[in-house]
Structure 1
Amino acid sequence: MISNTIDQEIKQAMLAKDQARLRGLRAIKAALLLARTEKGQAEEITADGELKILQRLVKQRKESADIYNQQGRQDLAVVEEEEIAVIAQFMPAQLDREAVEKLIADIIAGAGATSVKDMGKVMGLANKDLAGKADGKLIAEIVKAQLA
């Protein structure tokens, strides 16, 4: 579980006085704690649940960094990008575009999809197979391009 690792990493970051790393780790810990205490939530979060939380944290920070860059606030964008780097360390390695294209082509062939009408079916399979390994926007873009 990531929770135990995060606690150890927070201690090490505090001892090293690494503020950027500490911010990212605390964000992860807060998100996991919030998810664990949500109404209707089971005692423990599954590994898939943790991965979804980490993906959401990275997505939020990317959006914030983009906004800050558009507004010329590089100082704030850097903070978001530092946190992205910390959070990404606890996620599976991201696949490059060519690898995602190949995997999606295999999924399309396996599903027998032939047109854009089959996009929903293909997206479901692709998101399941590529969870945490590729960005959802990239997956959707490639699926749409290959089915068109």
Structure 2
Amino acid sequence: MSLKSTIEAEIKQAMLAKDKDRLRALRAIKSQILLAETEKGNEGELTEETELKLLTKAAKQRKDSIEVFEKQSRDDLAATEKSELEVIESFLPKQLSEAEVEAEVSQIIQQVGAAGPQDMGKVMGAATKKLAGKADGKMISSLAKKLLS
């Protein structure tokens, strides 16, 4: 079952349950899916990889918004974003722990034959492909820097 049909079914359930927070988040995801489907160059149906990128982007936007709202002491807006983030994360694959990401990155360093900080680009390219949706890019980057130095 595609992400779009799953989201549509979840929207119906949220409407019946009168869960406004979940409904708002699901509608935001559906909106992004529809925009991606009608984007120039797309044939309609999205691939799993594209769907994963959409969800990851939406989660990152929510995390950034939460950070900004908390700095501005807007707890009401931060709470809204947190509830939406929880819904989005329920559709993402399970996130890896820092230790698991470190193990993966060190394995990638060995595979690409990276010797030092000058090979950061090679490592990040391979790591972001392999760990897409499973780990935060900032975490991957910081661990790669640490392991390469």
Instruction: Specify if TM > 0.5.
Output: yes
User: Runs of 4+ in structure 1 displaced over 6 angstroms?
Assistant: none
1:60-110: CA deviation from partner (whole Å, max 9, x where unpaired): 111111111000000000000000000001110000100000011111011
Q: How does 1:79-90 map to 2 (within 5 A)?
A: 79-90=80-91
1:99-122: CA deviation from partner (whole Å, max 9, x where unpaired): 000011111011111101111001
| TM-score scaled by length of structure 2 | 0.97
1:3 aligned residue: 4
1:112 aligned residue: 113
Matched, 1:16 2:21: no
Paired residue total: 148
Matched, 1:97 2:95: no
Q: How does 1:69-80 map to 2 (within 5 A)?
A: 69-80=70-81
* Distance in 2 of aligned mates of 1:59 and 1:131: 13
What's the % identity of the aligned pairs?
52
Opposite residue 37 of structure 1, the aligned amino acid is: T
Q: How does 1:51-62 map to 2 (within 5 A)?
A: 51-62=52-63
What residue ranges of structure 2 are gaps of 5+ in the alignment? none
What residue ranges of structure 1 are gaps of 5+ in the alignment? none
1:40 Cα deviation from its structure 2 partner: 1.8
1:9 Cα deviation from its structure 2 partner: 0.3
| TM-score scaled by length of structure 1 | 0.98
> RMSD in angstroms over aligned alpha carbons?
0.6
* Distance in 2 of aligned mates of 1:41 and 1:31: 14
Opposite residue 31 of structure 1, the aligned amino acid is: Q
2:125 aligned residue: 124
Opposite residue 100 of structure 1, the aligned amino acid is: V
